Every structure is written in C-alpha cells, then in structure tokens.
Structure 1
Amino acid sequence: MHALPGCYTISSPIISKWNTKMKFHNHASNTTIVFSLLILLLLALTSRAQYSPPPPPSPPPIPCGHGGHDECPDDSCCSLIGICAEHYNRLCEPDLCFSNCTQPPQCGPQAGGQRCTADRHCCTTAGQCAIYESLACLTICASQCRPTLINSS
C-alpha cells in the first residue's frame, strides 16, 4: 500500500481498477468524438447541397407564326401557340405544328395535292395530317376540315 499525502491510501488493485475505467472512458470518448465529427461532416455536405446556386434562366421563347415571323430563325419548328420549339419537343408534332414541322408535308399543296387518308383527319396549312379534335384542325385547317354542326331547330 502506498500512502498519498492528505490521508488517502491506494492499493495496486484500486489503481488497476481505476486505470481500467479510464481506458473504457477514453475509448468511449474517442467513439463520441468520431461520431460527432461524422455528424458535422454530414451536416456540412447537406447544407452545401441545399445552397447550391440556381440554374441559369432559360432564354425567352422566340415568337413565330401568326404573331411573328412565319419561320423560326434557328431552323426549329413554329408551334401553333406561336413560339419556336426544338424538333424533339411535343409542340413540333403534326397536331401542334404551324410551320417547319418535324415530319415532311403529308398533304395539301406542299405534298403535291395529297389528301389525308386516315378517317377523321384534316390537312393543316403546314401540310400535316392531324385529327379533328386537335388544336391544328381547329385553327389552321386547310382542307378536309371537320364539318360544322348546324343546329336545326
């Protein structure tokens, strides 16, 4: 036994027990520090993702058709709503296209006077066959237009 000043008596088993507790405490403390650092890293990465700059604004649509030029300046199609669109866009499909459509002309003067062969189709001014219910048949029908319903009262 060893005597420490101040009337404490400490034996070797007490010192060993105290050292064992300290080793466990140090191990737990290291785990807590590592866990805390991982949480801080995760928070830093998450906050960086939330505050990324917004994408650049898309350019304004180019007007065409009835309200602007008949053709689009960049060889894209002109849609019925009056804006230029890329050829892969839905607005360039036959029932929504005004000019420079994706498909070659199917009817009308542009196609040598051909008529639309499918039932319930009209020929648009762009030379495209479109179904009667489409916006194209209602706005730019050139031939085979939907018959007008007349109320007989």
Structure 2
Amino acid sequence: MAVYSKSLTESDVSTRLAVTSSWLNNLFPPFPAGQYHQVLDVEDENGKKWKFVLCIRQEGQYDKPVISQATWRPFVVHKQAEVGDEVEFSRKTDGASGSACRYKIRLIKKGMKKEEKEVMENEEKEVIKNEKKEVKVFGAIIGYSNN
C-alpha cells in the first residue's frame, strides 16, 4: 500500500490542495496524452466517499498538480481542516493484475496525540484485514474471499 502525507498550508486549506510531483508519479494513475484532469474516487476513514478532481498544467515546464478547489473545499469544510493538520492519501491495489486501485484519505488533526494516531492506524489496518477480496475468473467476479 502506497501512503503519502502532507502538512496543510494556508493555500491548501483556503483554496486547493497542492500535490507534489512524487505523489503524481507514484500514487495517482498517469494522465493519458492530451488529458489534464482526472476524477479520483476516494474514501475517508469513516467510509464517506469523495470525488476529487486532480489537475495538471496544460503548458509549462512542470505539471504543478493540484486537487481542484471545487472538489477539495467541501472536504476541508466537512473535516474542519486547519493549517498544520496532516492529510494522508493511500492507495491499495486490488486484483491479481494490479489494475484496480482504491484510494483512501484521512485528516490527522495537528493536536492529535501519538497514541490517538496509533489507534487510528490500527483500526484502519483491522478494516483492511477484514475486507473481502473479489475472486475473478476471466475478469468476471464469481465470489468473495476473506483472505
């Protein structure tokens, strides 16, 4: 599972989330030629689903990836995110081919004690451990496994 985190800045909280190039190259799917945005389906630590639009520049020397204000701000408001809080994205690859990815996000408040953070991490690991995996034959789902 790939995990990336960032301490939120003023512009991350007030406008849009600036994403580092390492996230773009290692966490999110590549952009097809001629495409400058893509929709990411993301689930938070409470199971709430979010749709984020990841955008890159159409011109320039580097991509400067961001999650658009229109899709990012509702998350910030709902979570009452503040400057200094940490946002953590993770990607879990499903299936034998590794083509299907699930994205998770969580907000870690800046005042959270180390013990509380560890409890959150252990709860998340337990949820992942207990999730059922799809069993596929020739691409068709024929059942689910607890392994």
TM-score with structure 2 length normalisation? 0.21
Greater share of strand: 2
Considering Cα pairs closer than 8 Å and 6+ residues apart, tell me whether 1 or 2 has the greater RCO: 2
TM-score with structure 1 length normalisation? 0.20
